[in-house]
């Protein structure tokens, strides 16, 4: 049985890394007076270091038993927070439609998917975040994965180039541009995936 719409207000905000979904979620939370549940932060605080929200498929890391246990705890933890707060903005990209369905089972919710307005704006956001925290790749996992997949002598060449030449280094620029373009393609693919199961509101940022 669906929970009463008048008793709960739930907004789920998804999108690829660097599109600005955290900023949008914070604004929604502030303007509506809803509790903000940031999934990245929840995982960092309460789950094992190998727990991955963004891996493909239903399983969230390579260790099946641990994954299934963490996945169940993760889903239940969010449902407990929904029960506690009732009016929530939940922010973070979950790749699996099935997990989203399990989290929101029995609830009416609004699904918002954030997409960049254009490639240039998106690349600028990536550059800004990288500059703010280069050793952590601006907390953009796709940027780290791309750079580490092109190592030379066990060193990430983009990060090394940045430390020598700054953000205008040719190698780090290539890493940002190529990984950013790949993320735009992934964004479109996941948008289509979500739309197969949910009514999705597209937010262009």
- Mean pLDDT for the stretch of residues 120-135: 95
In this prediction, residue 63 carries a pLDDT of 40
In this prediction, residue 59 carries a pLDDT of 40
Over the chain, what is the mean pLDDT?
87
Give yes or no for residue 145 having a pLDDT over 60.
yes
CATH number of 9-117+198-204: 3.40.50.300
pLDDT 10s digits, 68-92: 778 888 999 999 999 999 999 999 9
In this prediction, residue 150 carries a pLDDT of 75
Return the domain boundaries, the chain.
9-117+198-204, 119-184
Given pLDDT bands bounded at 50, 70 and 90, which one contains residue 122? very high
Q: How many CA atoms lie within 13 A of 107 on its CB side?
A: 23
Given pLDDT bands bounded at 50, 70 and 90, which one contains residue 43? confident
Give yes or no for residue 48 having a pLDDT over 70.
no
């Amino acid at each position: 049985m669906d929970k009463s719409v008048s008793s709960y207000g739930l907004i789920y905000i998804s999108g690829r890394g660097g599109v600005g979904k955290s900023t949008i979620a914070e604004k929604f939370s502030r303007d509506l007076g809803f509790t903000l549940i940031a999934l990245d932060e929840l995982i960092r605080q309460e789950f094992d270091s190998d727990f991955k929200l963004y891996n493909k498929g239903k399983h969230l890391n390579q260790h099946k038993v641990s994954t299934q246990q963490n996945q169940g705890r993760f889903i239940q933890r969010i449902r407990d927070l929904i029960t506690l707060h009732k009016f929530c903005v939940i922010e973070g990209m979950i790749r699996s439609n099935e997990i989203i369905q399990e989290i929101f089972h029995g609830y009416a919710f609004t699904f918002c998917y954030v997409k960049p307005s254009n490639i240039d704006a998106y690349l600028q956001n990536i550059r800004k975040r990288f500059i703010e925290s280069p050793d952590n790749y601006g907390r953009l996992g796709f940027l780290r994965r791309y750079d580490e997949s092109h190592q030379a002598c066990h060193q990430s060449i983009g990060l090394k180039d940045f430390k020598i030449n700054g953000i205008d280094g040719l190698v780090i620029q290539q890493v940002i541009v190529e990984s950013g373009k790949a993320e735009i393609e992934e964004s479109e693919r996941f948008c289509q995936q979500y739309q197969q199961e949910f009514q999705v509101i597209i937010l262009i940022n």
